[in-house]
Structure 1
């Protein structure tokens, strides 16, 4: 049976980022996108405004989606920050933890994060600054009507991202962590990505993948195959000999 891979999107994005992946075959996993409030079909709901609120809500959505099955959790950039905070919350409450946490395009959460002064920016300025920061463009950024739909969630996520960095966890997670980083990522240095080793007491590996911060937007099959290989390797390692 394939392992559910629960996916959390980057800032402002919705579950549709991952839905096409469900049609792409993988040996070890099946994609389970989690929709966050304030985007796409949930656009009428208010987006989360703090990391604590986001982690609590996301934990509920994950547990409902996996129904006690073993699972892995993937998040990119803001989604990685949210994924880690959610697993911390699940662990503190003794709830169902993932078999593996896959962090993509993110420095350890106790390190300083990019600050663009979200509160002072208009919607158009915010979209422009995000394009410059992460090297990712979206058609909605250029259409005023579409921008009104996507920017509230983007603004909320980026505001959370600009909140003071968390303190380094005193109790590392009992969950193995795989960290994916684009080799040309100018936002996340390799040294910052390696800091994730302090977030777990099990195992942590750093996997370099070709590309910039949004590397999978141009070569998502590479990401897909990389995740497939690492999850398959992990599951084979846990099988009784």
Structure 2
């Protein structure tokens, strides 16, 4: 199993690029980049939080273009589309924005919070992510045909309750499972949570590999 991570604008080697604020700016190019991979062999999608939303809409874009589809989709820390209530944090001034993001979600490392220059570089990326997340409008389409969806999350995640994980079942005609592990929204940041996630993804990868034979 090989990990191919998606690097969005504004991050790492793409730091000089302006972060995207609309999902369409990500999904179209991403689907084009992934299509040759799904044509070459079995691919699994994994997304956490906003990454789950990006993965889901990329799946639908691949279907629209007639490309080969991945073998499974693991969604983590994200309520199903069309459920829950969107916030409007992306409209707040910087100081209030940082306070509210850290209060509601956490996840900004202490080293960044303590360094004004690092924090100033991080704010546009966070604001772009939350703009995408909070302005997303779900459009009904047929469920994904036969694609297994595995929805996972933390038992103490205040943003994704079990019924919102279970609601992902409506987005596929294929197999569906859901499960939770001890922890909050970033449950997979602990060594135990990371092992748990990897084990589940690896099991799906083995199933995908066997299906090729």
TM-score above 0.5: yes
2:195 corresponding residue in structure 1:
221
- What SS is found at the alignment partner of 2:73? strand
When structure 1 is superposed on structure 2, of 212-221 and 159-168 the one drifting more is 159-168
Q: Secondary structure at the match of 1:179?
A: strand
Which stretch shifts more, 63-72 or 158-167?
63-72
Matches within 5 A, 1:50-129: 50-63=22-35, 68-122=40-94, 124-129=95-100
2:63 is paired with a residue whose SS is helix
Q: Structure 2: which 5+ runs fail to align?
A: none
Aligned 1:201-240 pairs, distance under 5 A: 201-219=173-191, 220-236=194-210, 238=211
Q: Is the Cα contact below 8 Å between 1:34 and 1:62 reproduced in 2?
A: no
Q: Which residue of 1 aligns with 2:108?
A: 137
SS in structure 2 of the partner of residue 83 of structure 1 = helix
**How big is the shift at 1:132?**
1.7
Per-residue deviation, 1:67: 6.8
Partner Cα separation in structure 2 for residue 215 and residue 143 of structure 1:
25
Contact 2:90 2:130 in 1 (8 A): yes
Distance in 2 (CA, whole Å) between partners of 1:80 and 1:146 is 26
Q: Deviations over 1:176-195 (max 9, x none)?
A: 11111111211101001111
- After TM superposition, the score normalised by the length of structure 2 is 0.88
Deviation, 1:113, is 4.0
Matched with 1:32 is: 4
Task: Tell me whether 1:146 sits opposite 2:118 in the alignment.
Answer: yes
Alignment match, 1:161: 133
Q: How much does 1:116 deviate?
A: 4.0
User: How many Å apart are 1:66 and its aligned residue?
Assistant: 6.2
- Shift of the 106–151 alpha-carbon distance from structure 1 to 2, 3 Å rule, reads same
Return 127-136 or 74-83, whichever deviates more: 127-136
* 1:107-154: CA deviation from partner (whole Å, max 9, x where unpaired): 1121234414311231x4323222222232312233211122222121
Conservation of the 8 A alpha-carbon contact between 1:111 and 1:165: no
CA contact (8 A) 2:39 2:68 kept: no
SS in 2 for 1:162: helix
Unaligned runs of 5+ in 1: 1-28
**Deviation by residue 1:179-238 (Cα, 9 ceiling, x = unmatched):** 1111121110100111101111112111222211110112322222222223324544x2
Q: Could you tell me which residue of structure 1 aligns to residue 158 of structure 2?
A: 186
